[in-house]
């Protein structure tokens, strides 16, 4: 397999996840040969920290000066669409963080406008569909790979669930899945203009992607075609706006959400009659809570991505374990905890990058590609329409 040269776009948290994953693959498989970002100074510091040969202030500069085979978009959601199109036109394969795209307001609207409260969700869905189609055309016309960085699809627990489901051969009748924790510390996550939505998109996109992929695989194996989502019903809530919670003296859950939901529930129905319940929230204590459970006609299988009990620890006080890392977004190190021995591996980050590098080098489609990225974005915004209009939304014309 020929080595793939990666141009990394971004230097924030997602970029750090990606860099650790690329490093685990080894330089003979893939090499991050350049990094760029809005701040050339920060890109330079990131390049120095990770030993990246070149750094630039913009992706245009990077693509014109550096030798890269693919771009890795570890950047905020609102620039995914424009940078994906730009990369495709430059003939570069694309690795894009979740979610593919969203609605972030009009160019001439005020930055202070709370668009989550003022813009109809149906208008948002239409804009997202247009952007998805624009990206799809650019990728198809340039004949480049689009790799959708949905780590749940590659997480070992989920991969084992899929193999067990394949071995059982029964019908997947029902799926339950959830991603929740006590809330993002990022100020960008708390306003629609910078996040593209609340818990549904920032948390729910992960279990939704895994659910859609699982039914796609089942259909392809049994019928030679994917089983497709047919409709969605959704409810969202702002649980941190409950008045009694606001009056509490100490808050363990992140507060101050502006115009985005901090909890959501989607119920999907598929064209084979099966169903899926997907929960997402920023109101759950105890660290990240990620799981998917499949109810088959002849089996029941649960994938616990976070937490898992590979290692369990107890401390009578938080300071006992000092600076030793426990797990993501846990509120305290005191009491019983579930330290993650290899968190990146458990969550599938090295595995997804390995698949992307192989797909680019071998000229094949990745396991997680553009169809999944498009489906996730359109189902999410259809769910918002359902919640706002109080009705079931038919997904068939939306995903056509």
HSE value, Cβ hemisphere, 13 Å, CA-based, for 357:
26
pLDDT at 398 over 90: yes
Confidence of residue 43 (pLDDT cuts 50, 70, 90): very high
Per the CB < 8 A criterion, the answer to whether 200 and 102 are in contact is no
Q: Is 41 exposed, middle or buried (0-12, 13-18, 19+ CB in 10 A)?
A: exposed
Tell me, what's the pLDDT at 111?
A: 74
Q: Is 237 exposed, middle or buried (0-12, 13-18, 19+ CB in 10 A)?
A: middle
The two three-digit tokens of residue 380, written as one number: 């999410």
Distance, in Å, from the CA atom of 81 to the CA atom of 124, rounded to the nearest integer, reads 15
* Mean pLDDT over each residue of the chain, to the nearest integer: 95
Mean pLDDT, residues 39-58 = 93
pLDDT at 254 over 80: yes
High-pLDDT (> 70) share of the chain, %: 100
Instruction: Write down the residue that tokens 């920032």 correspond to.
Output: 202
Which 3 state secondary structure label does DSSP give 51? coil
Is the whole model's pTM more than 0.85, yes or no? yes
Tell me, what's the pLDDT at 368?
A: 97
pLDDT at 107 over 90: no
Q: How far is CA 384 from the centre of its chain?
A: 17
The two three-digit tokens of residue 36, written as one number: 């760029």
pLDDT at 189 over 80: yes
The two three-digit tokens of residue 219, written as one number: 């259909």
HSE value, Cβ hemisphere, 13 Å, CA-based, for 115:
23
Q: What is the pLDDT of residues 300-329, one digit of tens each?
A: 999 999 988 889 999 999 999 999 999 888
Q: HEC states along 296-353?
A: ECCCEEEEEEECCCCCCEEECCHHHHCCCCCCCCCCCCCEEECCCCCHHHHCCHHHHH
Distance, in Å, from the CA atom of 219 to the CA atom of 17, rounded to the nearest integer, reads 32
Confidence of residue 251 (pLDDT cuts 50, 70, 90): very high
Q: Is the peptide bond before 99 cis (omega within 30 degrees of 0)?
A: yes
Mean pLDDT, residues 158-170 = 97
Question: CB atoms < 10 A from the CB of 136, how many?
Answer: 18
User: How are beta strands 393-394 and 335-337 bridged, if at all?
Assistant: unpaired
Tell me, what's the pLDDT at 329?
A: 86
Count of positions (residues) in the chain: 400
pLDDT at 240 over 80: yes
Q: What is the pLDDT of residues 74-105, one digit of tens each?
A: 998 899 999 999 999 999 999 999 999 999 99
Tell me, what's the pLDDT at 187?
A: 82
Residues 6+ apart with CB under 8 A from 248: none
Mean pLDDT, residues 344-362 = 95
Tell me, what's the pLDDT at 119?
A: 96
Q: HEC states along 143-156?
A: CCCEEEECHHHHCH
Question: CB atoms < 10 A from the CB of 277, how many?
Answer: 16
Mean pLDDT, residues 201-227 = 97
Tell me, what's the pLDDT at 27?
A: 83
Distance, in Å, from the CA atom of 337 to the CA atom of 269, rounded to the nearest integer, reads 36
What domains does the chain contain, in order, with CATH numbers? 4-149+352-364 (3.40.50.720), 152-348+377-399 (3.30.360.10)
Tell me, what's the pLDDT at 185?
A: 80
Tell me, what's the pLDDT at 399?
A: 97
């Amino acid at each position: 397999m020929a080595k793939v040269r990666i141009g990394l776009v971004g230097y924030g948290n997602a970029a750090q996840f990606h860099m650790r994953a690329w490093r685990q693959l080894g330089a003979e498989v893939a090499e991050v040969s350049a990094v760029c970002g809005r701040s050339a100074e920060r890109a330079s510091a990131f390049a120095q920290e990770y030993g990246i040969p070149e750094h630039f202030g913009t992706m245009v500069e990077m693509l014109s000066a550096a030798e890269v085979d693919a771009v890795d978009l570890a950047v905020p959601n609102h620039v995914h669409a424009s940078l994906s199109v730009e990369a495709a036109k430059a003939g570069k394969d694309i690795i894009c963080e979740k979610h593919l795209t969203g609605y972030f307001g009009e160019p001439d609207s005020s930055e202070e406008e709370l668009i989550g409260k003022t813009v109809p969700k149906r208008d948002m869905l239409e804009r997202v569909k247009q952007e998805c189609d624009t990206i799809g055309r650019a990728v198809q016309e340039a004949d480049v790979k689009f790799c959708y960085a949905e780590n749940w699809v590659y997480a070992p627990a989920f991969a084992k669930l899929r193999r067990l489901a394949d071995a059982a051969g029964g019908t997947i009748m029902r799926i339950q899945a959830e991603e929740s924790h006590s809330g993002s510390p990022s100020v960008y996550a708390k306003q629609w203009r910078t996040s593209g939505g609340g818990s549904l998109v920032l948390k729910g996109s992960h279990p939704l992607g895994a659910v859609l992929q699982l039914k796609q695989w089942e259909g392809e194996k049994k019928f030679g075609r994917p089983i497709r989502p047919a409709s969605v019903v959704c409810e969202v809530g702002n649980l941190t706006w409950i008045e009694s919670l606001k009056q509490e003296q100490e808050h363990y859950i992140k507060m101050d959400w502006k115009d985005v939901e901090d909890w959501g529930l989607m119920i999907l129905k598929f064209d084979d009659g099966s169903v899926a319940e997907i929960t997402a929230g920023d109101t759950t204590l105890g660290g990240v809570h990620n799981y998917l459970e499949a109810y088959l006609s002849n089996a029941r299988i649960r994938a616990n991505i976070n937490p898992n009990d590979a290692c369990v620890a107890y401390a009578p006080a938080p300071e006992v374990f000092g600076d030793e890392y426990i797990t993501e977004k846990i509120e305290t190190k005191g009491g019983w905890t579930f330290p993650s021995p290899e968190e990146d591996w458990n969550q599938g980050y090295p595995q997804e990058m390995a698949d992307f590098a192989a797909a680019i080098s071998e000229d094949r489609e990745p396991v997680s590609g553009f169809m999944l990225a498009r489906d996730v974005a359109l189902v999410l915004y259809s769910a918002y329409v359902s919640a706002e209009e109080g009705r079931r939304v038919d997904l068939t014309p939306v995903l056509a």
